[in-house]
Amino acid sequence: MTVESYRELLKAGPFPGRIDPWAEVGHYFQQIHAGMIAFCLEQIQDSLLALDLLASTQSSLQETDVWHFMRHRPKLSNWSYADAAAELGIDPGIPLYPDDHEPHAIYIWNSEAQLVTVLEVILPFTKLEGDRHFQYLMRREHLLWNGINVVEIDATRSENRLLNSWYTKNNAYHTAIFMPGESPRIVPSTFDEPLKRFALPLIRSVIAVDAQNAYEKAYRLNETGYAVSIDGRYTKNDLPYSDMIPDDQHAALLDSVTTWRARLESLRGESP
Protein backbone atom coordinates (compact mmCIF):
# COMPACT_ATOMS: atom_id res chain seq x y z
CA MET A 1 0.00 0.00 0.00
CA THR A 2 1.27 3.45 -0.81
CA VAL A 3 0.43 6.10 1.71
CA GLU A 4 -0.51 8.47 -1.11
CA SER A 5 -3.12 6.17 -2.71
CA TYR A 6 -4.75 5.39 0.63
CA ARG A 7 -4.84 9.06 1.62
CA GLU A 8 -6.30 10.08 -1.75
CA LEU A 9 -9.07 7.49 -1.49
CA LEU A 10 -9.77 8.57 2.08
CA LYS A 11 -10.08 12.22 1.08
CA ALA A 12 -12.11 11.54 -2.07
CA GLY A 13 -14.81 9.79 -0.05
CA PRO A 14 -17.51 7.52 -1.46
CA PHE A 15 -18.78 10.03 -4.04
CA PRO A 16 -15.91 11.42 -6.13
CA GLY A 17 -17.03 13.63 -8.99
CA ARG A 18 -20.32 14.62 -7.37
CA ILE A 19 -21.77 16.12 -4.19
CA ASP A 20 -21.61 13.97 -1.07
CA PRO A 21 -25.32 14.06 -0.06
CA TRP A 22 -24.52 13.45 3.63
CA ALA A 23 -22.32 16.55 3.69
CA GLU A 24 -25.09 18.92 2.62
CA VAL A 25 -26.25 20.08 6.03
CA GLY A 26 -24.90 21.13 9.39
CA HIS A 27 -21.34 22.07 10.17
CA TYR A 28 -20.01 19.94 7.30
CA PHE A 29 -21.38 22.22 4.59
CA GLN A 30 -20.57 25.31 6.65
CA GLN A 31 -16.90 24.36 6.39
CA ILE A 32 -17.13 23.21 2.77
CA HIS A 33 -18.77 26.56 1.97
CA ALA A 34 -15.67 28.45 3.16
CA GLY A 35 -13.41 26.23 1.07
CA MET A 36 -15.55 26.63 -2.06
CA ILE A 37 -15.35 30.42 -1.80
CA ALA A 38 -11.56 30.26 -1.40
CA PHE A 39 -11.05 27.87 -4.32
CA CYS A 40 -13.43 29.75 -6.64
CA LEU A 41 -11.38 32.87 -5.93
CA GLU A 42 -8.18 30.95 -6.64
CA GLN A 43 -9.60 29.87 -10.02
CA ILE A 44 -10.60 33.32 -11.22
CA GLN A 45 -7.97 35.63 -9.71
CA ASP A 46 -5.52 35.64 -12.63
CA SER A 47 -8.26 36.03 -15.25
CA LEU A 48 -9.70 38.97 -13.34
CA LEU A 49 -6.33 40.70 -13.06
CA ALA A 50 -5.90 40.34 -16.83
CA LEU A 51 -9.20 42.24 -17.21
CA ASP A 52 -8.08 44.93 -14.74
CA LEU A 53 -10.54 43.68 -12.13
CA LEU A 54 -9.94 42.98 -8.46
CA ALA A 55 -11.54 40.36 -6.22
CA SER A 56 -11.62 39.66 -2.50
CA THR A 57 -13.54 37.55 -0.03
CA GLN A 58 -15.68 39.50 2.42
CA SER A 59 -18.73 38.87 4.56
CA SER A 60 -21.53 37.16 2.68
CA LEU A 61 -24.74 39.01 1.85
CA GLN A 62 -26.40 36.09 3.64
CA GLU A 63 -25.19 37.70 6.87
CA THR A 64 -24.40 41.36 6.21
CA ASP A 65 -26.37 44.39 5.06
CA VAL A 66 -25.61 45.25 1.45
CA TRP A 67 -25.08 48.96 2.20
CA HIS A 68 -21.80 48.14 3.91
CA PHE A 69 -20.40 46.84 0.64
CA MET A 70 -21.86 49.58 -1.51
CA ARG A 71 -19.85 52.07 0.55
CA HIS A 72 -16.75 49.88 0.92
CA ARG A 73 -13.78 50.40 -1.40
CA PRO A 74 -10.98 47.89 -1.92
CA LYS A 75 -7.37 48.66 -1.23
CA LEU A 76 -6.05 49.84 -4.61
CA SER A 77 -2.44 50.66 -3.72
CA ASN A 78 0.38 49.51 -1.50
CA TRP A 79 -0.36 52.25 1.02
CA SER A 80 -0.38 50.90 4.57
CA TYR A 81 -2.08 52.65 7.45
CA ALA A 82 0.05 50.70 9.93
CA ASP A 83 3.31 51.80 8.25
CA ALA A 84 2.16 55.41 8.05
CA ALA A 85 1.23 55.44 11.73
CA ALA A 86 4.54 53.82 12.68
CA GLU A 87 6.44 56.61 10.87
CA LEU A 88 4.81 59.03 13.31
CA GLY A 89 5.70 56.80 16.24
CA ILE A 90 2.01 56.07 16.85
CA ASP A 91 0.57 52.67 17.70
CA PRO A 92 -1.71 51.78 14.74
CA GLY A 93 -3.99 49.69 16.93
CA ILE A 94 -4.96 46.04 16.76
CA PRO A 95 -6.59 44.82 13.52
CA LEU A 96 -9.81 42.90 14.00
CA TYR A 97 -10.75 40.13 11.63
CA PRO A 98 -14.12 38.44 11.05
CA ASP A 99 -14.94 35.28 12.95
CA ASP A 100 -13.62 32.26 11.07
CA HIS A 101 -17.14 30.82 11.03
CA GLU A 102 -18.69 33.88 9.40
CA PRO A 103 -19.68 33.02 5.81
CA HIS A 104 -17.96 34.90 3.02
CA ALA A 105 -18.63 35.69 -0.63
CA ILE A 106 -16.47 36.86 -3.53
CA TYR A 107 -16.70 40.56 -4.45
CA ILE A 108 -15.33 41.71 -7.80
CA TRP A 109 -14.47 45.38 -8.40
CA ASN A 110 -13.29 47.42 -11.34
CA SER A 111 -10.25 49.70 -11.24
CA GLU A 112 -12.45 52.61 -10.15
CA ALA A 113 -13.52 50.71 -7.04
CA GLN A 114 -17.02 50.05 -8.38
CA LEU A 115 -18.61 46.74 -7.42
CA VAL A 116 -19.22 44.58 -10.52
CA THR A 117 -20.23 41.08 -9.42
CA VAL A 118 -20.92 39.17 -6.21
CA LEU A 119 -20.48 35.39 -6.16
CA GLU A 120 -22.26 33.54 -3.33
CA VAL A 121 -22.31 29.90 -2.23
CA ILE A 122 -25.73 29.52 -0.64
CA LEU A 123 -25.97 28.06 2.85
CA PRO A 124 -28.92 25.76 3.68
CA PHE A 125 -30.32 28.02 6.42
CA THR A 126 -30.59 30.96 4.01
CA LYS A 127 -33.20 29.02 2.06
CA LEU A 128 -35.45 28.47 5.08
CA GLU A 129 -38.47 30.77 4.98
CA GLY A 130 -38.21 33.62 7.48
CA ASP A 131 -36.42 36.91 8.06
CA ARG A 132 -32.99 35.70 6.92
CA HIS A 133 -34.44 34.39 3.64
CA PHE A 134 -36.38 37.61 3.00
CA GLN A 135 -33.47 39.91 3.89
CA TYR A 136 -31.12 38.09 1.54
CA LEU A 137 -33.60 38.42 -1.34
CA MET A 138 -33.89 42.15 -0.64
CA ARG A 139 -30.09 42.53 -0.65
CA ARG A 140 -29.86 40.67 -3.95
CA GLU A 141 -32.52 42.92 -5.49
CA HIS A 142 -30.73 46.01 -4.24
CA LEU A 143 -27.52 44.94 -5.96
CA LEU A 144 -29.33 44.24 -9.23
CA TRP A 145 -31.08 47.60 -9.02
CA ASN A 146 -27.65 49.21 -8.76
CA GLY A 147 -26.33 47.41 -11.84
CA ILE A 148 -24.37 44.68 -10.05
CA ASN A 149 -24.36 41.00 -11.12
CA VAL A 150 -25.17 38.32 -8.54
CA VAL A 151 -24.32 34.63 -8.96
CA GLU A 152 -25.48 31.93 -6.53
CA ILE A 153 -24.08 28.41 -6.35
CA ASP A 154 -26.71 26.27 -4.61
CA ALA A 155 -25.00 22.97 -3.81
CA THR A 156 -27.47 21.55 -1.26
CA ARG A 157 -30.88 19.98 -1.72
CA SER A 158 -33.89 21.59 -0.06
CA GLU A 159 -37.62 22.09 -0.39
CA ASN A 160 -37.23 25.89 -0.46
CA ARG A 161 -35.15 27.78 -2.99
CA LEU A 162 -34.00 31.36 -3.41
CA LEU A 163 -35.20 31.18 -7.00
CA ASN A 164 -38.35 29.19 -7.66
CA SER A 165 -38.79 27.57 -11.06
CA TRP A 166 -39.39 24.19 -12.65
CA TYR A 167 -35.61 23.79 -13.05
CA THR A 168 -34.76 24.46 -9.42
CA LYS A 169 -37.61 22.24 -8.24
CA ASN A 170 -36.62 19.31 -10.45
CA ASN A 171 -32.85 19.46 -10.12
CA ALA A 172 -30.92 18.82 -6.93
CA TYR A 173 -28.38 21.60 -7.47
CA HIS A 174 -27.93 24.67 -9.60
CA THR A 175 -26.10 27.90 -10.21
CA ALA A 176 -28.33 30.95 -10.64
CA ILE A 177 -27.02 33.91 -12.63
CA PHE A 178 -28.65 37.31 -12.13
CA MET A 179 -27.76 40.25 -14.37
CA PRO A 180 -29.39 43.68 -14.17
CA GLY A 181 -32.23 44.11 -16.64
CA GLU A 182 -32.22 40.45 -17.74
CA SER A 183 -34.14 37.34 -16.78
CA PRO A 184 -32.28 35.04 -14.38
CA ARG A 185 -30.42 32.09 -15.87
CA ILE A 186 -30.15 28.62 -14.33
CA VAL A 187 -27.35 26.10 -14.80
CA PRO A 188 -28.90 22.94 -13.28
CA SER A 189 -27.26 19.71 -12.11
CA THR A 190 -29.07 16.50 -11.29
CA PHE A 191 -28.55 14.58 -8.05
CA ASP A 192 -26.06 12.11 -9.54
CA GLU A 193 -23.94 14.43 -11.66
CA PRO A 194 -21.28 17.01 -10.81
CA LEU A 195 -21.94 20.72 -10.45
CA LYS A 196 -21.62 22.22 -13.91
CA ARG A 197 -19.15 24.85 -15.04
CA PHE A 198 -20.66 28.28 -15.59
CA ALA A 199 -19.72 31.62 -17.11
CA LEU A 200 -19.29 34.29 -14.44
CA PRO A 201 -20.63 37.63 -15.73
CA LEU A 202 -18.41 40.69 -15.37
CA ILE A 203 -18.42 43.90 -17.48
CA ARG A 204 -19.28 42.92 -21.06
CA SER A 205 -17.26 39.74 -20.53
CA VAL A 206 -17.33 36.40 -18.72
CA ILE A 207 -14.83 33.97 -17.23
CA ALA A 208 -15.28 30.25 -16.57
CA VAL A 209 -15.79 28.86 -13.07
CA ASP A 210 -15.57 25.13 -12.35
CA ALA A 211 -17.91 24.78 -9.36
CA GLN A 212 -17.35 21.03 -8.95
CA ASN A 213 -13.59 21.49 -8.84
CA ALA A 214 -14.00 24.07 -6.08
CA TYR A 215 -16.33 21.73 -4.18
CA GLU A 216 -13.97 18.76 -4.41
CA LYS A 217 -10.98 20.77 -3.24
CA ALA A 218 -13.02 22.09 -0.32
CA TYR A 219 -14.29 18.59 0.51
CA ARG A 220 -10.70 17.32 0.72
CA LEU A 221 -9.43 20.39 2.56
CA ASN A 222 -8.87 19.07 6.07
CA GLU A 223 -6.23 16.49 6.88
CA THR A 224 -8.30 13.41 6.07
CA GLY A 225 -11.26 14.83 4.14
CA TYR A 226 -14.84 15.16 5.35
CA ALA A 227 -15.82 11.57 4.54
CA VAL A 228 -13.86 10.34 7.57
CA SER A 229 -15.82 12.72 9.81
CA ILE A 230 -19.13 11.59 8.33
CA ASP A 231 -18.31 7.86 8.32
CA GLY A 232 -20.51 6.15 10.90
CA ARG A 233 -23.35 8.47 9.84
CA TYR A 234 -23.55 7.10 6.31
CA THR A 235 -26.97 5.58 7.01
CA LYS A 236 -30.40 6.09 5.47
CA ASN A 237 -31.67 7.67 8.67
CA ASP A 238 -28.87 10.26 8.66
CA LEU A 239 -29.28 11.16 4.99
CA PRO A 240 -30.59 14.75 4.66
CA TYR A 241 -33.88 15.08 2.77
CA SER A 242 -33.96 11.32 2.23
CA ASP A 243 -37.63 11.50 1.23
CA MET A 244 -36.57 13.47 -1.87
CA ILE A 245 -34.50 10.51 -3.11
CA PRO A 246 -36.09 7.40 -4.73
CA ASP A 247 -35.60 4.13 -2.83
CA ASP A 248 -33.45 2.61 -5.58
CA GLN A 249 -31.05 5.56 -5.28
CA HIS A 250 -30.84 5.04 -1.51
CA ALA A 251 -29.50 1.57 -2.16
CA ALA A 252 -27.01 2.84 -4.75
CA LEU A 253 -25.72 5.49 -2.33
CA LEU A 254 -25.19 2.99 0.47
CA ASP A 255 -23.52 0.58 -1.99
CA SER A 256 -21.05 3.36 -2.87
CA VAL A 257 -20.23 3.77 0.82
CA THR A 258 -19.74 0.01 1.23
CA THR A 259 -17.47 -0.13 -1.84
CA TRP A 260 -15.41 2.81 -0.57
CA ARG A 261 -14.93 1.18 2.83
CA ALA A 262 -13.96 -2.13 1.21
CA ARG A 263 -11.36 -0.44 -0.99
CA LEU A 264 -9.88 1.28 2.06
CA GLU A 265 -9.70 -2.06 3.88
CA SER A 266 -8.07 -3.64 0.84
CA LEU A 267 -5.39 -0.96 0.70
CA ARG A 268 -4.75 -1.39 4.42
CA GLY A 269 -4.44 -5.14 3.85
CA GLU A 270 -1.74 -4.56 1.24
CA SER A 271 0.36 -2.77 3.83
CA PRO A 272 3.63 -4.66 4.46
Q: Is the pLDDT of residue 266 over 90?
A: no
Could you please report the per-residue DSSP string of 13-51?
-S-TTS--GGGSSHHHHHHHHHHHHHHHHHHHHHHHHHT
Residue 48, pLDDT score: 96
Please, what's the b/e burial string for 43-70 (b: 16 or more CB within 10 A of its CB; e: otherwise)? bbeebbeebebbbebbbbbbbbebeebe
- Residue 89: pLDDT over 50: yes
Spatial neighbors of 160 by CB under 8 A, at least 6 apart, are 127, 128, 129, 133
pLDDT, average across residues 256-269: 90
d(CA 89, CA 2): 56
- Range of weakest confidence among 33-37, 69-73, 181-185: 69-73
Task: Tell me which fold the domain 25-92+99-223 belongs to.
Answer: tt1808, chain A (3.90.1570)
* pLDDT of 99 higher than 50: no
What confidence tens digit (pLDDT) does each residue in 195-249 have?
999 999 999 999 999 999 999 999 998 767 789 889 889 998 899 988 888 777 8
Neighbours of 215 (CB within 10 A): 26
**What is the model's pTM?**
0.85
Name the range with the highest mean pLDDT among 7-11, 77-81, 192-196.
192-196
Q: How many CA atoms lie within 13 A of 204 on its CB side?
A: 2
Question: What is the chain's length?
Answer: 272
Domain residue ranges in the chain: 25-92+99-223
Q: Which residues on neighbouring strands pair with residue 209, listed in sequence order? A: 198
% residues pLDDT > 90 (the chain): 60
Residue 98 predicted with pLDDT over 50: no
